[in-house]
Structure 1
Amino acid sequence: KPKDCSDGSLEADGTQPKKEPDLVIEVGGQTINAHKSVLAEKSDYFKARLSRNILKVKGMSYKTLSTLIDYIYTSQISVSKDNVVDVITGAKILQIPCAVQAAMDSMSEQITPENCYEILTIAKKQRLSELKETAYRFMSDNFLQILKDPAVYGRLTGSERDLVLKKRMEGRKTLMVAEVNDVFDRVGSRPPSRCGSRPQSPLSVGSSEESHMIYCFSEAENDWRPLTVMPEDVNIKGCGICTMHNYLFVAGGISGYGDKGKVSDKVFCYNPITNRWAEIRPLNQARAQLKLVSMDGSLYAIGGECLFTVEKYDPRMDRWTMIAPLPKGAFAVAHEATTCSGELYVSGGSLFYRLLKYDPKRDEWQECPYNNSRKKSSDMVALKSFIYRFDVNREQGINVFKYNTIVKMWHDCASQRPGSHLPFRCAVIGNCIYCVNKSQTLQFVVEEENAYFVEEALKAPLEAKGVLFPFVLSLPEKPEKKANAGIL
């Protein structure tokens, strides 16, 4: 029976065709009746054959051609992994580029962690570069999930793995802050009220008044804007925070309040590309006031209150394993931790400052030289092969020291910033160390022969609560910006 596109089918503009079909298309021994003008509007193939009343189409099945003609009439495309190859190939033969894009968009919505490798394989075999790109992009957007699955990640080549991770790190590196709480409750503090007695999902998010926010800094607006609310299951008191593979990780901390406070082993991650939070494998040991850092694709949870143990998370194996503990009696609580040139550095000490280095190849901790300052520093960060240490002093302002990890020597940084400053925490983008607290954001720029504070401070998030913990994630460029960039 011939398919007749005049029955209930729509014109491309959504109206009923006003005239009878004037074209008979023969395909695979069957016929389809259609309107030349409607087909020519979206297909150069049909446009070039407007003089024909009967047209034989080769190189595709009746079913595929029906799908594409339905798309021309309705702008709706019906594709699945079973027919996507035929539909895209047919769309290219019939020169309907918008159908190729519509099929890609439809497949993008259908790709799952379970079928993404199968779709990638189809795309590679059929040389469908657009579909291949879509599959790689999905793997990149959901990297942690893919990394854990040997049926997907285990079958990717080395260059494909690099490509997927590289795509994940694209976008604009953006300074962000998370609102966290001091470990010590204020006198008379009460737990914030929850949203009545309604049931909460495992990672439910309350309203912004009672929840803790993550803000990101917009260079264009020179101001902070809210990015996401931290789920109420995340323990923002005494937790460890770091980034890896363009995810934010929050581990440990204290759940509950006052005497009912309980040290937690929970670990959460936030994906800025999908804007989703998830709970991942818990720590082997509950920890509060721990330090969380990432190095060479693994997370390290270091110490905690009265804990010397250290554990390492391998995201591919989805497993935490204990590694060499901090030397006994090192310090009750680590003050800062950072990584530099493939080694992990932890500082602390109550009577005097100590710096310890972890060598992952030997699985051992070593004592490093300490600098003259005996004070607890405001923060410590790595940039290239140096560790920068910031001390906040009421009389002297901010003193900056740097440790050369290659020659193992401390130097005073020439730069000082006088005045009264509140303690801050640091994050690095390029050659700039951002020093962030609730009153201002300082920029410390490191050049080849010089290092200095930028005179003018950036704003702080006005609405922010608690203590601000800065970090850096890459946010995907907005499509509008890409479009504008193309026009300019």
Structure 2
Amino acid sequence: MTIHSRAVMESNGCPRVSQQPGHWKTPDSLRVNIDGSSFLVDKTILCENCEYFRALFQSGMRECEQEETQLQCVGIMGFLVLLRVLDREQPVLSSDQIVEAIQCTAFLQVPALTEHLINIINSENCLLMYHTAATYGVWKLSHSSALFIRDMYADLKEDLHALPNKLVDYIESLLPSSYVAVCSHSPSTELLQDLQRTVCYLDEEHREWKVLTHLPVSTSTTMAGVAVLDNKLYIIGGVHDVSKKVVETGFCYNPAANTWSTICGCQHLRYNLTLLGHEGCLYALGGEYNMKALSSVERYKVSNGSWGFLSPLPCPAALVVSAVAMNRIFVCLWKGKGATDIHEYVTERDQWLLVTTLTREHSYGLYMVAHKDNLYVMRNGPCDDFLLCVIDCYNLSSGQWTAMRGQYGNSKGSLLTAVVRGDSVFTLSRQVTTEYTIEDYQWRVKRESKGFGRIGSIYTFLMRLPKAAVSPVRKSPNLPQNQNLRDCPRLSPQCSDIL
């Protein structure tokens, strides 16, 4: 069997790779032979995405001029997966495809393929991913798989005997993710500190909440944006009091050092914003200012401490519901009359794309979480049972909606916040913290713990907490109060050093 590939042109003129029959060829084409099959691909694309081909064609050797090459250490299935990923597909893979794809990315050194494999780690393939990636030396994938297994250690413990002891030891050396929460709090003063102004974590062994750290006295989590990025907690915006004067300073908590630092706030003052951490950046989505909803979006690059504006939301919105699935950013925007649009932000194009619309009578989206290639949109129940939450599941691969069985929430509270870890989803209220097991079209209660007995809006997230970080906490840090951070250049490095 001979398999041919050809380069096709997008509407913007950028070449892509796809598998198509025929013998179409260009001056930049390269014929790749694998086990008696051949692929006609664009040499430029291979050089841009594969370290192996980049080194091969920049070596100055005679292979640079050849129009054909033979690959000995790559299988056909793995190379086909590579071509699909370079064609911007996100295929769900079988076990055999995963093994050959890992072999392919190990030999050809393809970051895009490695990232895709990381994006599709799940409870069914994590052990295979971990063992195979460690065998072939794909360390980033191996580490990501080990972290996933560590978070599901209790559920996968019986299966770990199939792994070499050295790999099991590495898993056990890692820190697990902890469920963390903070309530809405206004700034306090050094003289009148509010002892309730704390960030807390769930002690799963004792099923109770414990204090992780105190908020700095100048920090506000009221109407703020709260997110975790690279295992650091960021708080942006928030208001001082009922006047809705915005806190202009941003705050960052590092659990490894148990310290707080300050950063510049957004260029456009805002509250009731959504803050999202993704691939080394913070995204401030929408919000309000002077009682007016905003559509503007800003991105903060941690590497250089700068804020910059991006393409605005399709419409002004506060408290935007968001989630990251398959390494892609999605938001819910309510249209009214029971209709909720789901948009994707395409980072490489700086563009918002409409993905789908969910229409349910007397309903609007309350929250959204991602698991595998599914988006779970939690919404209020019908008019006669408003406090109950109904869940609809949108599968990104099939493009199909499915109504989940049953309703969630009761007199103890509803699913107004949720966090996914492995195959579990955590949610809480003042009365109870509930862990559900995520099944295909139903969430099954796994265990319950003490509730988060605080008043006000609750922000929840996951963090990996060193043992030192969960020891007796320090007094609330007193960050500089008189620093006028609105005067600092927004496109400059970090505005304030760690204390």
TM-score band w.r.t. shorter chain: 0.5 to 0.7
Residue aligning to 2:400: 409
Look up the SS of the partner of 2:398 in the other structure: coil
Offset at residue 229 of structure 1 (A)? 0.9
Offset at residue 275 of structure 1 (A)? 1.0
Is 1:391 the counterpart of 2:375? The answer is no
CA distance in 1, matches of 2:217, 2:326: 36
Correspondent of 1:317 among 271, 290, 304: 304
Change (3 A) 1:246 1:236: same
Root-mean-square deviation over aligned CA pairs: 3.3
Is 1:172 the counterpart of 2:176? The answer is yes
**1:133-144 paired onto structure 2 within 5 Å:** none
**Higher RCO, 1 or 2 (CA under 8 Å, sep at least 6)?**
2
Residue aligning to 2:327: 342
CA distance in 1, matches of 2:348, 2:197: 38
Residue aligning to 1:244: 229
Question: Which AA in structure 2 matches 1:276?
Answer: T
Offset at residue 473 of structure 1 (A)? 0.3
TM-score, normalised relative to structure 2: 0.54
Offset at residue 415 of structure 1 (A)? 4.1
Question: Which AA in structure 1 matches 2:203?
Answer: S
Change (3 A) 1:321 1:280: same
Change (3 A) 1:318 1:455: closer
| Cα deviation digits, residues 420-458 of structure 1 (max 9, x gap) | 4445211121111111222222223114x4532306532
Change (3 A) 1:336 1:446: same
Change (3 A) 1:238 1:350: farther
Residue aligning to 2:432: 440
- Higher Cα Rg, which structure: 1
Change (3 A) 1:474 1:455: closer
Correspondent of 1:382 among 357, 370, 380: 370
Question: Which AA in structure 2 matches 1:284?
Answer: Q
Look up the SS of the partner of 1:263 in the other structure: coil
Question: Which AA in structure 2 matches 1:243?
Answer: V
Correspondent of 1:466 among 431, 451, 456: 456
CA distance in 1, matches of 2:389, 2:282: 31
Residue aligning to 2:115: none
Correspondent of 2:391 among 387, 397, 400: 400
Is 1:194 the counterpart of 2:189? The answer is yes
- Contact preservation (8 Å) 1:334, 1:347: no
**1:139-154 paired onto structure 2 within 5 Å:** none
Residue aligning to 1:354: 341
- Contact preservation (8 Å) 1:380, 1:388: yes
CA distance in 1, matches of 2:217, 2:364: 31
- Contact preservation (8 Å) 1:445, 1:452: yes
Question: Which AA in structure 1 matches 2:249?
Answer: K
CA distance in 2, matches of 1:341, 1:383: 9
Look up the SS of the partner of 2:349 in the other structure: coil
Offset at residue 277 of structure 1 (A)? 0.8
Change (3 A) 1:195 1:380: same
| Cα deviation digits, residues 32-63 of structure 1 (max 9, x gap) | xxxxxxxxxxxxxxxxxxxxxxxxxxxxxxxx
Matched-pair identity in %: 22
- Contact preservation (8 Å) 1:294, 1:339: no
- Contact preservation (8 Å) 2:378, 2:390: yes
CA distance in 2, matches of 1:227, 1:365: 37
| Cα deviation digits, residues 379-414 of structure 1 (max 9, x gap) | 111112111112232627331111112333221122
Residue aligning to 2:257: 274
Residue aligning to 2:295: 308
Look up the SS of the partner of 1:428 in the other structure: strand
Offset at residue 471 of structure 1 (A)? 0.7
Change (3 A) 1:478 1:469: same
Residue aligning to 2:241: 257
CA distance in 2, matches of 1:367, 1:246: 30
- Contact preservation (8 Å) 1:331, 1:348: no
Question: How many residues are matched?
Answer: 299
Is 1:284 the counterpart of 2:267? The answer is yes
Question: Which AA in structure 2 matches 1:194?
Answer: T
| Cα deviation digits, residues 98-131 of structure 1 (max 9, x gap) | xxxxxxxxxxxxxxxxxxxxxxxxxxxxxxxxxx
- Contact preservation (8 Å) 1:379, 1:389: yes
Correspondent of 2:360 among 345, 366, 373: 373
Question: Which AA in structure 2 matches 1:288?
Answer: Y
Is 1:427 the counterpart of 2:419? The answer is yes
Unaligned ranges ≥5, structure 2:
1-137, 148-169, 472-499
- Contact preservation (8 Å) 1:179, 1:469: yes
Q: Which shifted more, 346-355 or 469-478?
A: 346-355
CA distance in 2, matches of 1:247, 1:479: 12
CA distance in 1, matches of 2:342, 2:283: 17
CA distance in 2, matches of 1:339, 1:223: 28
Offset at residue 362 of structure 1 (A)? 1.2
Change (3 A) 1:474 1:233: same
CA distance in 1, matches of 2:320, 2:470: 43
Residue aligning to 1:228: 213
Offset at residue 331 of structure 1 (A)? 4.1
TM-score, normalised relative to structure 1: 0.55
Change (3 A) 1:370 1:456: same
Question: Which AA in structure 2 matches 1:367?
Answer: L
- Contact preservation (8 Å) 1:387, 1:403: yes
Change (3 A) 1:331 1:308: closer
CA distance in 2, matches of 1:298, 1:177: 21
CA distance in 2, matches of 1:240, 1:192: 15
CA distance in 1, matches of 2:396, 2:324: 11
CA distance in 1, matches of 2:272, 2:392: 25
Residue aligning to 1:155: none
CA distance in 1, matches of 2:270, 2:436: 32
| Cα deviation digits, residues 216-272 of structure 1 (max 9, x gap) | 100111111111111122121110111111111111121x3233x312342211111
- Contact preservation (8 Å) 1:438, 1:467: no
